Structure 1
């Protein structure tokens, strides 16, 4: 991709955080932003590095993860296109406390703290939109903790598969393409890759899903959703 032809102000205007901003405000933010390309497996940042900007995944997939004292990796979040991360740390002026790595070839937009603070000073409503975004992420993480604590492994996998499907989809067949490896998704769901594969096999044996590499076909989403209750 020719990054010199990427329309930064226009892209920023399509993000929920910046949708209500005027053209001149978007232009200032764009001047305080940078675009970078990361190859699969390349680090975006590491624990302990200074956090002076927040990030938006334009295309690709980024994993946020921590390493335990025993050297085990735990994926905290998988960040896809249009999603932001590291806003809270940027405001706290603290180093990164987790790691970020590109799971696929990724285009990343990073917006500097200075540019954000300037717009907050000019328009207090901008800070309210940022707070709303942070609240949504916190709510999502709380829901994840509850799911890990209260739901079985089967329920977690089903919840992951149907999370983006319409709630009123009825019995319309659906297809889900796993954005990253099964091992990465297993870590995200706090289970081993072996157990994740076992659950997929169980659901497939029951006729609830059809697995073709990374594509998961769901003949009847409603039946799949009801499965743990039977």
Structure 2
């Protein structure tokens, strides 16, 4: 994924890794899908759009975001290759819950709602794999809720950086992880669920302690294992 070495990701990669879909199921899904390309910053769909199917991200990185009442964009997640996108709307017939846009050029496979259910009805293992994905999303939501009440602001900010490392991380020979897109303090605050001022203080503490560093306008996770320790619930 993005050329990131297992050594560079350390425990952060193990915690965030997506389940691997069996090849037979994946092959069936891919054969019924149409390829879609996105340029950097191009929007795949907006929050509130009707859900016409789901997408499988083959290459590239996308972000999921919403616009808050104050008009500011709030970053929810960064998703890398192997991610399934838009499946919730396909199952519950509700509108899209977030805006998905490309952080890098992307190749995706789109499967319409009708195609998915026809395929799944004929191949029940597809439903089992979909349930695994939805269960994983629910566990992540549960972790986030628990973190809100039990993890310090610094820990929640560390969790945000650990999550970003999965989608944007570029592992390097010295064991550090470069986040290859510019990330703002507002982005971190949105992912961590804290006020921007609190996120700013926590980021400065991480920089002072050497867990994070900066290279030009980019963050570097200098000590991934220490960051992961902070992120644990």
8 Å CA contact 1:78–1:188 kept in 2: the answer is: no
8 Å CA contact 1:61–1:179 kept in 2: the answer is: no
Q: Given the alignment of the two structures, is residue 102 of structure 1 paired with residue 106 of structure 2, yes or no? A: no
TM-score (norm 1): 0.73
Gaps of 5+ in 2: 1-18, 167-173
TM-score (norm 2): 0.72
8 Å CA contact 2:154–2:230 kept in 1: the answer is: no
**Corresponding residue of 2:21:** 17
Report the 3-state secondary structure (helix = DSSP H, G, I; strand = E; otherwise coil) of the residue aligned with 1:50. coil
For residues 70-128 of structure 1, give each alpha carbon's deviation from its aligned partner in whole angstroms, at most 9, with x where no partner exists.
Answer: 32322222211111121121122232232212222222221222222122211222211
* Larger Rg computed on CA atoms: 1
Alpha-carbon offset, residue 54 of structure 1: 0.6
Report the 3-state secondary structure (helix = DSSP H, G, I; strand = E; otherwise coil) of the residue aligned with 1:17. coil
Higher RCO, 1 vs 2 (CA within 8 Å, ≥6 residues apart) = 2
Change (3 A) 1:150 1:220: closer
Alpha-carbon offset, residue 146 of structure 1: 2.2
Distance (Å, rounded) in 1 between the aligned partners of 2:86 and 2:150: 28
**Corresponding residue of 2:208:** 205
Q: Given the alignment of the two structures, is residue 188 of structure 1 paired with residue 154 of structure 2, yes or no? A: no
Change (3 A) 1:118 1:226: closer
CA RMSD of aligned residues (A): 3.2
